[in-house]
């Protein structure tokens, strides 16, 4: 039973990791959570036998290292301290994974996440049951590796990757101190078994004992992010660990969504992956031809149907390089499907057509539902969504937004002596166009309205010629090189 406590979570992690594709998300979740529940039940029995009845258990497996006087075996110790520590480790890990089933249900890589999480539990168990310092160090390093994998779980996000690398490298400082402490212990005692070291320490030189203790303390300080070695911890919030921190607001938002209530834009900033820079870019694209698509209100989130809801962000073709750049820099973190062309000219039925748009699909539904509900309202008469300008757009709109608006749906008007930029706003009403002019004025840009179609009552916004030098100055840092002609016309910059 005691060996099962150690290796059952490892077995669950291995099965979920290597056979996750065949098992599916549900199968991987059942196996990993079942392994932790069974292990937790065995720990309760161990707590009764060892902690309450006072019957410690010591297990010795074959030797690991046998070199001269150094002999390190695969040994495990279940004493009162170990079983007391195992209780919170297993119970908390089990409840966390049960909670995660619902929390991560929309992620396409569920199996990988549950494999990592169960592997973390295994190394934690190994850490508190090892009967020698070298085996403890192995578990110590395993926890560091799995922490890296969890922080960097969404590895398409540059910030998450940087945070994971920072955590791993800073922990190497602590690992170096811990390793020096182990070498010092070998030099002073000649052994790494807890029982041997504890029995000899009272007779050791006080200076040696102090140095070894400080080195071990330094290693623990890095792992637990103590002062001077704590800077990696805030950055690690960039990964999945931060999602737990914001789970209360996230669950509230999901509940509101299920109740078909209006979601406030503040939800956008409660989701770790959704930064202000991303919102500025999406704002610029939605002001142009970019659009959000989702199932109708009767099928949102599959409330009436069992189909899994998804969103598509659609962008006009207008330059393949720009689309790829935009996807890689912004949207890849929300999508695992890649960017798709429509019509798909690789298909026989589309081979003679021209690509008119690109899109990607995401199942990060709460985030894009919040965006969709800000930019569209349901028109019952037309039985469709109508695009609107959110009243809170002034808080998000920036020079970056304007640059993406120009690239997505703007053109250089060189007729006569105008020499200016026209922003296509046929999707919006005249009142909304006037409102957008006030938003532009926050960047000190002057503009006028130009009638596009009197019958349909559509308008376009023309940037005043006197504001063109300022406009070029503020948007050039965010313009893709393939779209610089929109600021100067066909002749390019002088």
The pLDDT tens digits for 147-168 are 888 887 777 667 677 777 877 7
Q: Which of 391, 379, 425, 376 is closest to 405 using CA atoms? A: 425
Both structure tokens of 153? 């779980």
Quick one: how many helices (H) and strands (E) in the chain? Answer: 19, 12
Which residues have CB under 8 Å from 402's CB, separation 6+?
284, 440, 443, 445, 471, 474, 475
Task: pLDDT band for 301, please (50, 70, 90 cuts).
Answer: very low
CA distance 54 to 81: 11
What is residue 461's predicted lDDT score, i.e. its pLDDT? 93
What percent of the chain clears pLDDT 90, i.e. is strictly above it?
14
CA distance 202 to 65: 26
Q: Where are the alpha helices (DSSP H) in 330-398?
A: 365-375
CA distance 339 to 355: 13
Which residues have CB under 8 Å from 245's CB, separation 6+?
237
DSSP 401-457: HHHHHHHHHEEEE-STT--EEEEE-TTS-HHHHHHHHHHHHTTT--EEEEEEETTTT
Task: pLDDT band for 300, please (50, 70, 90 cuts).
Answer: very low
What is residue 363's predicted lDDT score, i.e. its pLDDT? 67
Phi-psi region at 264: left, alpha or beta (left = phi > 0; alpha = psi -120 to 50): beta
What is residue 228's predicted lDDT score, i.e. its pLDDT? 62
Q: What angle do CA 375, 378, 382 make, to 5 degrees?
A: 125
What is residue 416's predicted lDDT score, i.e. its pLDDT? 59
The pLDDT tens digits for 202-227 are 777 788 888 888 888 877 777 666 66
pLDDT at position 104 over 90: no
Burial label for 477, CB within 10 Å (0-12, 13-18, 19+), is exposed
CA distance 392 to 389: 9
pLDDT at position 90 over 80: yes
The pLDDT tens digits for 391-441 are 888 888 999 999 999 998 898 887 656 689 999 998 898 889 999 999 999
Q: Scan for tokens 């969890």, then name that residue.
A: 150
The DSSP H or E segment spanning 160 is helix 158-188
Task: pLDDT band for 253, please (50, 70, 90 cuts).
Answer: very low
Both structure tokens of 144? 């560091």
Domains and CATH numbers, the chain: 1-131 (no CATH), 268-374 (3.10.28), 399-488 (3.10.28.10)
CA distance 282 to 286: 6
Which residues have CB under 8 Å from 75's CB, separation 6+?
58, 59, 60, 61, 130, 131, 132, 135, 193
DSSP 90-106: HHHHHHHHHHHHHHTTT
Task: pLDDT band for 299, please (50, 70, 90 cuts).
Answer: very low
Task: pLDDT band for 263, please (50, 70, 90 cuts).
Answer: very low
Q: Which of 263, 283, 281 is closest to 365 using CA atoms? A: 263
C-alpha pair distances (Å), 163 with each of 5, 149, 158, 231, 278: 32, 11, 9, 10, 19
Judge whether 144 and 178 are in contact, CB under 8 Å.
Answer: no
C-alpha pair distances (Å), 454 with each of 435, 437, 458: 20, 20, 7
Supply the pTM of this predicted model: 0.49
pLDDT at position 137 over 80: yes
What is the rounded average pLDDT for all residues in the chain? 79
CA distance 115 to 125: 16
N-to-C CA span, the chain: 79
pLDDT at position 93 over 80: yes
């Amino acid at each position: 039973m005691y060996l099962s406590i150690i290796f059952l979570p490892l077995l669950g992690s291995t099965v979920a990791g290597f056979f996750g594709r065949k098992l599916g998300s549900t199968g991987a979740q059942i196996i990993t959570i079942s392994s932790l529940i069974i292990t937790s039940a065995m720990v309760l029995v161990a707590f009764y036998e060892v902690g309450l009845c006072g019957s410690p258990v010591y297990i010795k497996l074959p030797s690991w290292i046998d070199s001269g006087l150094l002999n390190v075996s695969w040994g495990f110790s279940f004493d009162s301290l170990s079983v007391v520590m195992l209780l919170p480790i297993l119970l908390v890990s089990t409840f966390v994974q049960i909670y995660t089933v619902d929390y991560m249900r929309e992620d396409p890589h569920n199996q990988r996440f549950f494999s990592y999480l169960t592997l973390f539990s295994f190394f934690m168990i190994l850490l508190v049951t090892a009967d020698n310092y070298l085996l403890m160090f192995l578990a110590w390093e395993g926890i560091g590796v799995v922490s890296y994998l969890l922080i960097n779980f969404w590895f398409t996000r540059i910030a998450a990757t940087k945070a994971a690398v920072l955590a791993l490298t800073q922990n190497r400082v602590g690992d170096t101190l811990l390793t020096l402490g182990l070498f010092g212990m070998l030099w002073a005692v000649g052994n790494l078994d807890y029982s041997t070291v504890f029995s000899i320490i009272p007779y050791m030189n006080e200076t040696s004992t102090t140095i070894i203790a400080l080195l071990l303390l330094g290693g623990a300080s890095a792992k637990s992010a103590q002062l001077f070695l704590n800077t990696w911890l805030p950055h690690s919030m960039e990964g999945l660990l931060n999602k737990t921190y914001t789970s209360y607001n996230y669950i509230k938002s999901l509940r509101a969504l299920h109740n078909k209530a209006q979601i406030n834009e503040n939800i956008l900033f409660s989701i770790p992956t959704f930064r202000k820079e991303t919102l500025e870019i999406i704002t610029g694209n939605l002001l142009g031809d970019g659009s959000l698509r989702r199932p109708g209100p009767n099928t949102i989130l599959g409330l009436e149907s069992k189909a899994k809801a998804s969103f598509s962000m659609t962008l006009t073709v207008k330059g393949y390089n720009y689309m790829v750049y935009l996807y890689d820099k912004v949207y890849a973190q929300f999508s695992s499907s890649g960017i798709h062309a429509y019509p798909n000219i690789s298909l026989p039925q589309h081979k003679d057509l021209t690509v008119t748009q690109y899109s990607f699909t995401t199942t990060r539904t709460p985030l894009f539902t919040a965006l969709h509900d800000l930019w569209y309202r349901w028109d019952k008469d037309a039985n469709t969504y109508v695009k609107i300008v959110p009243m809170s757009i002034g808080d998000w709109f920036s020079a970056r937004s304007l640059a993406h608006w120009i690239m997505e749906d703007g053109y250089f008007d060189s007729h006569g002596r105008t020499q200016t930029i026209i922003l296509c706003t046929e999707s919006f009403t005249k009142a909304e166009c006037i409102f957008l002019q006030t938003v532009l004025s926050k960047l000190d840009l002057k503009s006028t309205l130009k009638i596009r179609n009197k019958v349909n009552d559509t308008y376009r916004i023309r940037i005043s010629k006197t504001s063109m030098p300022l406009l070029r100055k503020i948007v050039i840092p965010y313009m893709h090189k393939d779209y610089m002609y929109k600021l100067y016309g066909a002749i390019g910059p002088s």
